[in-house]
Amino acid sequence: MKPVIEVENLVKKFGSFVANNSLTFSVFPGEIFGFLGANGAGKTTTIKILCGLSAPTSGKVSVAGYDVYRQSEQIKKKHWLYEPEIFAL
């Protein structure tokens, strides 16, 4: 069975700050997957990348067969919802 989400060696940097460093995981159809971790651990950054809202610095990331580097618009058109914890009006 092919993974729905595949992340290999994901790195996301903001200047000299490293939000994600070599993150690797796969999510297969029917699995329930969640992120747990301390504030600043890179959970939100990873979700933004998976939703096509942010580009990774390096690594391989695919969602539903779409490459996040080349096909982020197709990822955004899927039924993804990103609700920030702090909502600014």
Q: Are strands 66-67 and 17-27 parallel, antiparallel or unpaired?
A: unpaired
Give tens-digit pLDDT for 36-67. Answer: 999 889 999 999 999 888 999 999 999 999 99
User: Does residue 70 fall inside a structural domain?
Assistant: yes
Burial (CB count within 10 angstroms: exposed 0-12, middle 13-18, buried 19+), residue 44: middle
User: Does residue 85 fall inside a structural domain?
Assistant: no
Work out the angle at residue 79's Cα, subtended by the Cα atoms of residues 77 and 81, and round it to the nearest 5 degrees: 105
How many separate domains does the chain show? Answer: 1
For the chain, the distance separating the N- and C-terminal CA atoms, rounded to the nearest angstrom, is 42
Position with higher pLDDT, 80 vs 30: 30
CA distance 60 to 85: 27
CATH of the domain at 66: 3.40.50.300
